[in-house]
Amino acid sequence: MKNYLICLILLIAFSLTVKAQLPPVFSQARKSQARGEATVRRYLPPVKILWQSGNATTNILNPEKLLNPGIGQADLSGKNLCVLTSNEKGKPGILFDFGKELHGGLQLITDQSRGGKPVRVRLRFGESAAEAMSDVMDVAKDATNDHAMRDFTISLPWLGKLEVGNTGFRFVRIDLVDDNVELKLKEVNAIFTFRDIPYLGSFNCSDTLLNKIWITGAYTVHLNMQDYLWDGIKRDRLVWVGDMHPETSTIAAVFGNNDVVPKSLDLARDITPLPEYMNGMVSYSMWWILIQHDWYMHTGNLAYLKQQRSYLIKLLNQYSLQIDSNNSEALNSGGRFLDWPSSDNIKGIHAGLQAMLVMTLNAGSELCKVLNDPATAKKCDDAVLKLKKNVPDANGSKQAVALLSLSGLISPAAANEALSVGGVRNYSTFFGYYMLQAKAKAGDYQGAIDAIRSYWGPMLGLGATTFWEDFNIDWLPDASRIDELVPAGKKDIHGDYGAYCYKGFRHSLAHGWASGPTPWLTQHVLGVNVVVPGCKVLKIEPHLGDLKFAEGTFPTPYGIVKIKHVRQPNGKITTSVKAPREVKIIK
């Protein structure tokens, strides 16, 4: 026993000595000023080889070996290798499909290639197969390295490992660059970078397409929850505040309270001194206020809301003064923008901004009452009364029509009639969420469900695993899938279409603002409506439309609420709800 105690004392003393002798960089890295990351990295092998160069039979040996899971370590066994050789028959190339849109890069493990020197390869990442086969010099299809490098040449080590890339992708093409070289590859793995968080919310119904749409919207936003909340993982890797509103609505429905939301809202606030507008657009600071309102309703975090008080009050006072003698919004000190497809409709933008200002000031008034500032609340209310005296013409803009309805400036029935013209033509992936909300406000739940199927469904039919920056059903005739090389006579759905900032391959195929159906299905089909801040009171009001059942979960600060609705043979809906005791349920 005595010897045991002596050994124990010596061991403790040794461990303390070792700890004290750690290099200073370790203690520095542990300090609060050392920046960490909220994401994790996982390594995934490709699921398919989609294409090989024409000389594959002579210049590529054992490519199928690269489809096997690896260990991320080079060795001296010389086994299970893919060998690429460039010679008089040409330079080899391989296109890999990783099966699903990912955010991250590529890990390559090499063996003892001939000559013992680094071997240069060209890497091309793509959100579609066609993009991975494109060239950044292809001006016609707008293939770019904007925001993230996706087409570049790099040297691979002899018998080693290289990790490279930071973009959104599903496909990667690898080509040898130089003549008369050999590359032995042991592994090619996608580096999947994401927040390792649970999907607390869920949705399941009798329509498998709607189920797939719900989870695809959730996954699209999940990919964009990096250190900050981005709009796109390939392009638009920025905190765009307006674009965040569908994303934060999705986060509330799927992940619950997550620090990426306040962190991103605070960044936008801190880099935008008043009287400037966030992202240089008059509408985006309005979206900031609307998100603050919705986030407070979900989380009930009064302490966080109080941190916004100074900036929020000044911003609301600024907006309340932007009304002219005709009771019209006069927001002229920044970009006047709703979304890209509506950006040429000047009258429609005016109508949309008029409606947004009403929505913003109404939300601001509620927040001011919570913050015990009745004076600013009254300013907001008085400004809304003025704005309601002027109802601009939407000029055919479905974006503006949706906002006019949601703000109460036009009747829900009139808005729904206008939104129904042409079905889902002139929808957009961003403002489609508000078009769905306007249809719900009019009681046209079946019309909204059909719109989700008809607009978001075709993206999945074209091979999408995330939702896109924009989509137009007029692109569908003769369109190719994104997970195949474009067949002869088909249109390249990625490279041939797009407009404004998203022409051709610059078009982002994983854009968080396109996730609107996810929170919409949770709110209106599953029927979850937050009545009291912090989800202390939820009203469960399902609208199944043509569905036989709908079930799912909803995250609250107190735990998960479980909900199930079943249509009985007589058409009546029976509902069962199980909630934490702190959450009051109203049916």
Q: What is the pLDDT along the chain (587 residues), one digit of tens a residue?
A: 555 555 555 555 545 554 556 677 666 666 666 778 899 999 999 999 999 999 999 999 999 999 999 999 999 999 999 999 999 999 999 999 999 999 999 999 999 988 889 999 999 999 999 999 999 888 888 899 999 999 999 999 999 999 999 999 999 999 999 999 999 999 999 999 999 999 999 999 999 999 999 999 999 999 999 999 999 999 999 999 999 999 999 999 999 999 999 999 999 999 999 999 999 999 999 999 999 999 999 999 999 999 999 999 999 999 999 999 999 999 998 899 999 999 999 999 999 999 999 999 999 999 999 999 999 999 999 999 999 999 999 999 999 999 999 999 999 999 999 999 999 999 999 999 999 999 999 999 999 999 999 999 999 999 999 999 999 999 999 999 999 999 999 999 999 999 999 999 999 999 999 999 999 999 999 999 999 999 999 999 999 999 999 999 999 999 999 999 999 999 999 999 999 999 999 99
| Six-digit token string for 401 | 């029509």
Give the three-class secondary structure for 136. Answer: coil
State residue 155's pLDDT score. Answer: 97
State residue 137's pLDDT score. Answer: 80
Give the three-class secondary structure for 183. Answer: strand
- What are the C-alpha distances in Å from 297 to residues 151, 256, 440, 533, 559? 44, 12, 20, 4, 16
State residue 529's pLDDT score. Answer: 98
Instruction: Burial-class residue 487 by CB neighbours within 10 Å (0-12, 13-18, 19+).
Output: exposed
Residues in the chain: 587
* Cβ within 8 Å of residue 304, ≥6 positions away: 262, 296
Beta carbons within 10 angstroms of residue 25's beta carbon: 9
Distance, in Å, from the CA atom of 345 to the CA atom of 352, rounded to the nearest integer, reads 10
| Six-digit token string for 174 | 């690898």
Q: Which long-range contacts (CB under 8 A, 24 or more apart) does 378-385 make?
A: 379/316, 379/317, 379/320, 380/316, 380/320, 382/320, 383/319, 383/320, 383/323, 383/357, 384/358
- Secondary structure in 3-state letters for 469-507: CCCCHHHCCCECCCCCCCCCCCECCCCCCCCCCCCHHHC
Distance, in Å, from the CA atom of 208 to the CA atom of 196, rounded to the nearest integer, reads 26
**Whether the Cβ atoms of residue 570 and residue 548 lie closer than 8 Å to each other:** no
State residue 385's pLDDT score. Answer: 98
Residue corresponding to tokens 């904007």: 146
- Per-residue buried b or exposed e for 274-310, using 16+ beta carbons within 10 Å of the residue's own CB: eeebbbebbbbbbbbbbbbbbbbbbbbbeebbeebbe
- Give the amino acid at 187: E
* Cβ within 8 Å of residue 420, ≥6 positions away: 444, 447
Tell me the pTM.
Answer: 0.94
Distance, in Å, from the CA atom of 401 to the CA atom of 397, rounded to the nearest integer, reads 6
Distance, in Å, from the CA atom of 369 to the CA atom of 533, rounded to the nearest integer, reads 13
State residue 18's pLDDT score. Answer: 47
- Per-residue buried b or exposed e for 245-260, using 16+ beta carbons within 10 Å of the residue's own CB: bbbbbbbbbbbbbbeb
Residue corresponding to tokens 């005709």: 326
Distance, in Å, from the CA atom of 568 to the CA atom of 573, rounded to the nearest integer, reads 6
State residue 70's pLDDT score. Answer: 95
For residue 173, list its beta bridge partners: 95, 124
- Give the number of C-alpha atoms closer than 13 A to the C-alpha of residue 114, restricted to the C-beta side: 10
> Domains of the chain, with CATH numbers?
42-193 (2.60.120.260)
**Whether the Cβ atoms of residue 199 and residue 254 lie closer than 8 Å to each other:** yes
Preceding peptide of 275 cis, ω within 30°: yes
Residue corresponding to tokens 């009304």: 323
Q: Where are the alpha helices (H) located in 371-422, listed in sequence order?
A: 374-387, 398-406, 412-420
- Strands, DSSP E only, in 90-150? 93-110, 119-126
Residue corresponding to tokens 């947004």: 356
Distance, in Å, from the CA atom of 543 to the CA atom of 522, rounded to the nearest integer, reads 10
Residues 467, 167, 277: CA angle, nearest 5 degrees: 70
* Cβ within 8 Å of residue 267, ≥6 positions away: 228, 239
Distance, in Å, from the CA atom of 195 to the CA atom of 41, rounded to the nearest integer, reads 9
**Whether the Cβ atoms of residue 151 and residue 173 lie closer than 8 Å to each other:** no
3-state helix, strand, coil in the chain (%, to 5): 40, 20, 40
